[in-house]
Structure 1
Amino acid sequence: MTHEDVVLVGVDGSPASLHAVDWAAALAKVHGFGLHLVCSYSMPSFTAAALDGGYAALDDTAIAEGARAVLDEAVARIAPTGVRTTSAVATGDAAAILVELSRGAAAVVVGTRGRGGFAERLLGTVSSALPAHAHCPTVVVPFRPEKPAASSRGTGTTPQEAATGPQEPVTGPEVAVAGGWAIGAPSEDAAGRPVVRRIVVGVDGSPAAEAALTRAVHEAEIWGAELTALAAVPVGTGAGILAWLPAAVDHEAVLRDVAEGLDVVVDRALADHPGVQVRRHVLDGTGAALLTEFSSAVDLVIVGSRGRGGFAGLLLGSTSQAVLHHAACPVMVVTTRASAEEWSPTELS
C-alpha cells in the first residue's frame, strides 16, 4: 500500500490551525505534493429527558457554512504558494476523521493549543491522539514560542552547538538568549513562509527510532537541511535510569558504546544518501528533555513512537508524547506502523 502525494491538514479557524496550514503548505511544496484541508464538526447531542417533547430538530446548515468559510479562508491564505489544494467539510470527531483520512496521505499536519476558532474547536486534543493512530507520519506544529529548557548537564556542548556547530554570539530582536546559548527565530524564506534548515532526530536503536532516522535523512535531503542525530543517555549523578550504576562502572565507556551504536545506525541510514551529512551526538540527559531543548535551536524535531529496546537498552517510545507537549518547533512523529506499512523514501521522491 502506498500513500497518495498529498499532505493532509486539520483546520478549525484558530490561529494555531492556520499556522499549521502554513507549515503544511511548505511541506507539500518542497516535496511536490498537493494539500488537502479538512474542517470537521460534530452536532451537539442531548438526552431525551433534557428536551421538551423528547426530541429537537437540529439544523446544521449554519454550522456547515461556517466550516466552509473556515476552509475558504485557509485556501485563500496559501494560494500564493501555488500548491495544488483541495478542501472538504466533514462531520464527526476530528481526530477519528484525520486518522481515517491519513490512510491516503503522505503526512498529516495539525496545530496545537488552538483555542477560540470555529465552533471553539480545540486542536490540542487532536494533536495528542493523532500521532499514535495515524497511518502516516504526523507533524504537530506549536503556535506559541516556548522557553528553552535548562542546558544539558555535564557535556560542555549546548544544543545550538550540537545542532549547528559552534556559534558566535547573536543578538537582535529576533533572537532570545537563555542558558548561555542563542535561540534563533523559526527559519523563513524571502516571502516569510516557513522552511526547514535544521533538523534533529532522536535515535535509540529501536525500530521506531530507525524509522524516524530514515525519514529524517530523507527530509534533510529534500530540504537541504542540516541534520543532527541525538542519542540521550541519562548517566549523570541523579539523572535517571543509569544513575544507580555502581561506581566501578565506567560511565565514559557506556557513552562510547552508545556512540558506536549510533554510528552503526546512522551509517546504515546514509547508505543510499551519500550527499547528506549528519552530526552525531551522545549527550547526558533524557531524550524528552534534550529534544525539547534542541527544539529551540532547530526547525523540525523527528521522533519515533513506541520504540522499545535497541542498543544499550534505551527507551525512546515514551519520549514522543513529552516532546509533543513542550517542543518549540514542529515535531514529526514516525510510528513503526506508518513506516512499515505505509511509507518508504522511494514513495516520497
Structure 2
Amino acid sequence: MHGYTSIAVGTDGSPTSLVAVRSAASLARAFDADLTVICAHYSANTSLLNTANGEQAKVDIVSVDDAKRVLEVAERIAKEEQAPRVNLQIKSGQPAQVMIDAAQEFGVDLIVVGNKGMRSLAGRVFGNIPGNVAKKAPVDVLLVDTRAEGHD
C-alpha cells in the first residue's frame, strides 16, 4: 500500500489555510507520518503595493511575530486531529518557494495546500501559491478544496 512518511503543510493563518492544516494533520494521523507545519514570513516593496510615495520600503506581509501566532493556532489544530509528530517551522521567503524547498529540507513526500485563488481571474493571470506549488514541487501535492468549509 502506498503511504506517506512525512507531510508538509503551509499556513498563513487564514481560514482556508487552516482547513489545509486540519487535512494534513488528519493524513499524518492516518499514515503515522511526521507533520511539518510551515509559515513563511516575507515582505514586499512598497513599489509593488502601488504606494504614492517614491521611497521603496519593505512592508511585512507576514511578520515573524505573526508567524509565531499562526503556528500556535496550527499546532492546536494538529493536536485536535491527533497528528503523531508535529514540527513547526517559520521560514523566510515567498510562500510557494518555501513549500517547494521544504520537500528537500525536511524529507517531505507530500505537500498539502489549500486551493484558494486557483479559480480566481487574478490567480490564473498572476499565479497563485497552490498552483505554483503543484507545478514545481518534486513530490506529491494534495490540493484541499476549501469551498466545503465556506472559505473560498
Question: What's the TM-score bracket when you normalise by the shorter of the two chains?
Answer: 0.7 to 0.9
Give the distance between the partners of 2:70 and 2:83, measured in 1 at CA. 19
Give the distance between the partners of 1:145 and 1:37, measured in 2 at CA. 22
- 1:109 matches 2:112: yes
* AA partner of residue 50 (structure 1): G
How many residues are aligned here? 128
Q: Flag the structure with higher strand content.
A: 2
Name structure 1 gaps, 5 residues minimum: 115-123, 147-349
- Residues 96-127 of structure 1, C-alpha deviations (whole Å, 9 max, x = no match): 1111111220100001227xxxxxxxxx8111
- Residues 196-223 of structure 1, C-alpha deviations (whole Å, 9 max, x = no match): xxxxxxxxxxxxxxxxxxxxxxxxxxxx
- Residues 179-199 of structure 1, C-alpha deviations (whole Å, 9 max, x = no match): xxxxxxxxxxxxxxxxxxxxx
**Superposition deviation, residue 59 in structure 1:** 8.4
- 1:24 matches 2:24: yes
Q: Residues 7-86 of structure 1 correspond to what in structure 2 (within 5 A)?
A: 7-46=7-46, 50-51=54-55, 63-80=63-80, 81-86=82-87
Residues 139 and 59 of structure 1: is their aligned pair in 2 closer, same or farther, counting only changes over 3 Å?
closer
Give the distance between the partners of 2:59 and 2:98, measured in 1 at CA. 21
Q: Residues 152-191 of structure 1 correspond to what in structure 2 (within 5 A)?
A: none
Q: Does the CA-based 8 Å contact 2:6-2:34 persist in structure 1? A: yes
Residue of structure 2 in register with 1:6 after alignment: 6
Give the distance between the partners of 1:22 and 1:59, measured in 2 at CA. 29
Q: 1:144 aligns with which of 135, 143, 147?
A: 147
Residue of structure 2 in register with 1:327 after alignment: none
Residues 19 and 46 of structure 1: is their aligned pair in 2 closer, same or farther, counting only changes over 3 Å?
closer
Greater relative contact order, per chain length (Cα 8 Å cut-off, separation 6+): 2
TM normalised by structure 2 equals 0.74
Q: Residues 266-305 of structure 1 correspond to what in structure 2 (within 5 A)?
A: none
Residue of structure 2 in register with 1:132 after alignment: 135
Q: Does the CA-based 8 Å contact 2:44-2:59 persist in structure 1? A: no
Q: Flag the structure with higher helix content.
A: 2
Q: Does the CA-based 8 Å contact 2:32-2:83 persist in structure 1? A: no
Give the distance between the partners of 1:45 and 1:85, measured in 2 at CA. 33
CA RMSD of aligned residues (A): 2.5
SS across alignment from 2:148: coil
SS across alignment from 1:135: coil
Name structure 2 gaps, 5 residues minimum: 48-52, 118-126
Show structure 1 runs of 4+ deviating over 2 A: none
Q: Does the CA-based 8 Å contact 2:42-2:63 persist in structure 1? A: no
Give the distance between the partners of 1:50 and 1:66, measured in 2 at CA. 27
Give the distance between the partners of 2:76 and 2:148, measured in 1 at CA. 25
| Greater C-alpha radius of gyration | 1
Give the distance between the partners of 1:125 and 1:66, measured in 2 at CA. 21
SS across alignment from 2:63: helix
Residues 15 and 46 of structure 1: is their aligned pair in 2 closer, same or farther, counting only changes over 3 Å?
closer
**Superposition deviation, residue 79 in structure 1:** 1.1
Residues 97 and 50 of structure 1: is their aligned pair in 2 closer, same or farther, counting only changes over 3 Å?
same
**Superposition deviation, residue 41 in structure 1:** 2.5
SS across alignment from 1:71: helix
Identity %: 27
**Superposition deviation, residue 38 in structure 1:** 0.5
TM normalised by structure 1 equals 0.34
SS across alignment from 2:43: coil
**Superposition deviation, residue 5 in structure 1:** 2.9
